[in-house]
Amino acid sequence: MILETQLSQEITKTSSGFNKLILKKDNLAYENLHSFVYWDLLNKKGTIPKEALKSIELIKKSINHMPKNYWAHKTANIQKGARIGKGTKVWHNSQIINGAQIGEDCVIGHNCLIQSRAKLGKGVKLESNIDVWDLVILEDYVFVGPSAVFTNDINPRAKYPKKKYPQHGQWLPTLVREGATIGANATIISAKPKRIIGKWALVGAGAVIVKDVPDYAIVVGVPSKVIGWVCECGNKINFKSTRTSCRICKRKYQKKGDKVWRL
Ligand SMILES: CC(C)(COP(=O)(O)OP(=O)(O)OC[C@H]1O[C@@H](n2cnc3c(N)ncnc32)[C@H](O)[C@@H]1OP(=O)(O)O)[C@@H](O)C(=O)NCCC(=O)NCCS
Ligand SMILES: [Zn+2]
């Protein structure tokens, strides 16, 4: 079920003892749009003072006239408390769990799941059938091909779930850094303390990642190996010496060992 346009409100106390009211529409807090008010401590009866109520009504009206910030297909399930940035699109049958954070201008393809402790930056593109589990972070402009798999449990046991039996291990985080691409059907095995896919790296289709991937590396195979280097724009770059540039976009790079960076 998709939430209809909903206005909700939340009252918290600021550190200086004021009550702070945050109005929300479609689970997005309108804090930076002047849609919250501060007022002195609640009156004796514990109710909101009249003057504050008036301004709350005005603010509610103006929020109601604001265009919806993101778009979700009617079959998508967006749970209350999920934070979804402006311009993001959520396609058929995808589910966004309470607490999940998704930045602006993302595309969540069909049949994806974003769990409550997963985070997506801005401009992230998920194709279809992708589960982004708790502790998976996808930085800005990460691309994930169809049916790619993240994991957060290195030795899962149905009988001994990590939450109930922390002595048997813990869930592990994965960080996919800015601009990286994960090919179709690739599998990212989590690691202690954290699996890292470097920025602008390109993970080939079907690869199984058991080692961290350096920035700008192309990795393929099972288990995956570095077979080359790739520019931010997606074209291969070749290092005949320690420096090179992309023949398409002319970005310049330097390499030392398996470390590549932009000049
Ligand atoms: C990894 C990738 C970028 C390499 O492309 P490329 O640079 O044009 O690679 P080439 O075709 O020149 O292949 C180079 C070598 O890697 C091998 N190779 C390429 N892709 C591979 C893959 N996914 N898995 C295993 N080996 C692969 C090739 O067989 C070749 O091996 P060889 O040198 O022994 O002959 C590409 O194959 C890939 O997997 N892209 C991801 C596509 C995808 O999943 N898109 C999702 C959205 S549609
Ligand atoms: Zn380039």
Q: Is 36 helix (H, G, I), strand (E, B) or coil?
A: strand
Ranges 75-84, 115-124, 174-183: which has the least confidence: 75-84
Q: Among 34-43, 74-83, 86-95, 104-113, whose mean pLDDT is lowest?
A: 34-43
pLDDT of residue 24: 64
Q: What is the pLDDT of residue 80?
A: 83
pLDDT at residue 69 in the model: 84
The percent of residues in the chain predicted with pLDDT above 70, rounded, is 74
Q: Is the pLDDT of residue 55 over 80?
A: no
Cα(215) to ligand 1 centroid in Å equals 18
> Higher confidence at residue 106 or residue 54?
106
Lowest mean pLDDT among 35-39, 173-177, 184-188: 35-39
**197 vs 191: CA distance, rounded Å:** 12
Round to whole Å and give the CA distance between 185 and 200. 18
Cα distances (Å, whole numbers) of residue 154 to 134, 173, 182: 14, 11, 20
Question: Which of 16-25, 80-89, 124-133: highest mean pLDDT?
Answer: 124-133
Separation in Å, CA 152 to CA 80, 155, 159, 256? 24, 9, 17, 31
Most informative mutation of 227, 231, 248 for ligand 1 (most atoms within 8 A of CB): 227
**How many other C-beta atoms lie within 10 A of the C-beta of residue 249?**
11
Contact between 200 and 246 under an 8 Å Cβ cutoff? The reply is: no
Token digits of residue 19: 């009550």
Q: Cα-flanking dihedrals φ and ψ of residue 121, to 5°?
A: -75, -155
**CA 189 to CA 197: how far, in whole Å?**
11
pLDDT of 29: 54
Alpha-carbon distances, residue 103 vs 87, 112, 137, 195 (angstroms): 9, 16, 12, 22
CA distance 211 to 100: 27
pLDDT digits (tens, 9 = 90+) for 206-254: 999 999 999 999 999 999 999 999 999 999 999 999 999 999 999 999 9
- Give the pLDDT score at 5: 44
Half-sphere exposure of 6 (CA within 13 A, CB side): 12
The residue to which tokens 């091909």 are assigned: 145
What are the tens digits of pLDDT across the range 7-53? 566 666 656 555 566 666 555 555 433 333 444 434 445 566 666 66
Cα distance from N-terminal residue to C-terminal residue, the chain? 48
Residue 173 CA neighbour count, 13 Å, CB half = 12
* Model pLDDT, residue 53: 66
Which residues' Cβ are closer than 6 Å to ligand 1? 145, 183-184, 202, 204-206, 218, 220-221, 227, 236
What is the reported pLDDT for 37? 41
Query: Distance, CA 182 to ligand 1 centroid (Å)?
Result: 12
